[in-house]
Amino acid sequence: MFYSEALVVNYPSKPTAMDYQLNKDSKVFLSAIFSWDLPHLKDVVEDALFHSQQIDIGGPAVTHNETALQWPDKPVKIRHQHEAEHVRGSFPMTWTSRGCIRNCPWCIVPTIEGRLMNEYDTVQYAPLILDNNFLACSDSHIEKVLQHWSGKKVDWNQGLDARLYTSAFRNLVTKHNVKPTTWRFAYDSAGVSRYVQRAVEDINKQVKDKSRIRIYLLFGFNESEQEAISRAKEIIEWGASPWPMAYRPLDWPNRDYYVAPGWSRKKLVDFRRFFSRPWLWASMEYDDYQPRKTANG
């Protein structure tokens, strides 16, 4: 993201400071979500410095790699605060809390948000809630959010922690007439299978459409291909849809797949393609899947 003052513009390619008619009192704000975007961010910073701009940078990739992003004696500030989500207005997504009580080795949240829950005093409606672990919030905060979302649609887009899910929460959602468009949970390792199964089976009491129960399926982290296939099939058998997400190390430098031991790039691509397409896994077995060959295999 690149913006100057209060102006926000989406660019199809990397922006530069000259994309704006900046004056000496302007400030450039930059944010990077993924580590492979950091080279672009550095280029824009250097360009903005050339034009004598004040610069603030932030975002998950920046705060996680802070020590590698230093411009001594230059007007570059790393921001750790989350002011943007407190701006009042009508937006497609929002946060009501930050942080997560877990410490999953594949997740960046503990290093950038911490393991204590930071519940926001003031919340504003948006159809997508991006909280790191909504169900780890206090009962009073959850109740406040559900009251604020009463009669409106919601999507806990980051996924709910199945270990903390109970039928009491589903009943509370119903009580406040909150309308989930999709129920999402994370199935990142075999150790949480019984919790995910319990959550899916409980949601199935109200929702019979598999496409409205989606399970984020991390694959390629300390498991074989067969173990990942087995977990994907479990999700389907429980009455939900898998949403495959390939593991990448937190400092992965590019957009391509990280190939874990025992995997190949082709296996990663085939797994993701098959189990992200319901018309495939609903009509055939994975062993019968024969994808078309591509130039890079």
Q: Where in the chain are the domains?
A: 2-78, 84-288
Mean pLDDT of the chain: 87
Alpha-carbon distance of 108 to 96, in angstroms, equals: 19
Place of tokens 């390792």: 189
In this prediction the pTM is: 0.82
- pLDDT grade for 17, boundaries at 50, 70 and 90: low
The sign of the dihedral angle between the CA atoms of 142, 146, 149, 152 is positive
Model confidence at 137: pLDDT above 90: yes
pLDDT of residue 50: 85
Cα of 294 vs its chain's centroid, Å: 29
Alpha-carbon distance of 119 to 137, in angstroms, equals: 7
Model confidence at 139: pLDDT above 80: yes
- pLDDT grade for 89, boundaries at 50, 70 and 90: confident
pLDDT tens per residue across span 233-277: 999 999 999 999 999 998 888 889 999 999 999 999 999 999 999
Alpha-carbon distance of 202 to 210, in angstroms, equals: 13
